[in-house]
Amino acid sequence: MNYRAPWWLPGGNLQTIWPALYARRVFGELPQYRRERWTTPDRDFLDVDWLSNSAPTFPKAPLLVLFHGLEGSSRSHYAEAFADFAAERGLAFAVPHFRGCSGELNQGPRAYHSGDHEEIGWILSRLRAQHQGPVVAVGVSLGGNALMRWAGEAGTEAGNVVSAVASVCSPIDLAAGSQAIGRGFNRLVYTTMFLRSMKPKAMEKLRQHPGLFDGERLMAARDLYEFDDIFTAPLHGFRNADDYYARASAKPHLHRIRIPALVLNALNDPFVPAASLPGPHEVGSFVTLWRPKGGGHVGFPDGHLPGHVRTMPDEVGAWLLHSLPEMSRFVKAL
């Protein structure tokens, strides 16, 4: 990816915050979604939003699946930009929401987490079963770690479900990401932002399931490590935050991936230390690494004020569609 950040947005923090708040997201219409509610194997539910204001060009056109980041949704800036990319190219497009992220809290005694590869696998298998054409998937931040964790776990079987996968700005070393977001400016701005939505949802979960965790300790949590140690880890079968980060991180499993996979991380991402990123010798021949110098965390604005965030979806989407010969035929036809 030959990305160069605009001169008027210096540094990873500005390249993260400005695109999320002020940059343009689409060239066409804002995406309109049709929602499906799925019953999960454990009798809970999750919501899937399908792009509805653009019909696929062909019945067997590719389906692009997007897994959002921490506290994200189909209305996140990157999700709307990917939806615009899909609409422009006549693709089907779906955003499965992690539990509790679609505007309504899920019912079960759990939420979602960075290494939920079983949930990813179930979602993708269901999408594969109901879509005629090829399926490709991209995960952003938390969603990208979970997607890569699944791809590594699935190995050669992943090819029966999707043709290619990509992660964007994902903290594939969760311990390093937790340390980075818990310091200085990151702690003051990003940690505060996330906890502002995560704590009330957790407390509502406690009202659903009294005794599930220590509510007083959770409300006193000052960073994401403490939140994960009290809430995320024990609710999802981990001993503590350290055990969660070690077992859920995708980085140790990238060498097991056996389908085309793209791992994109900006070197100035405030959430993901460059030193924690894997080298080519750690990932295997199926994985492509993109390491642009700029872009921030899921930013990548172009140089035209107020900026546009389609640059990254265009390049990642094109990589996915060209990853296999069958994809290339669709792209040429489109």
Active-site residue list: 141, 269, 297
For strands 33-39 and 63-67, give the pairing. unpaired
Query: Which of 84, 234, 248, 103 lies closest to 173 in space, CA to CA?
Result: 248
Rg (CA), the chain: 19
b/e per residue 72-107 (b: at least 16 CB within 10 A): bbbbbbbbbbbbbbbbbbbbbbbbbbbbbbbeebbb
Q: How far apart are CA 92 and CA 160, in angstroms?
A: 19
Contacts of 157 (CB under 8 A, 6+ apart): none
- Alpha helix ranges (H) inside the chain: 12-21, 77-89, 117-130, 142-154, 174-181, 184-186, 192-208, 215-219, 224-227, 233-235, 241-248, 311-321, 325-333
Helices (H) and strands (E) in the chain, counts: 13, 8
> Residue holding tokens 């990813």?
120
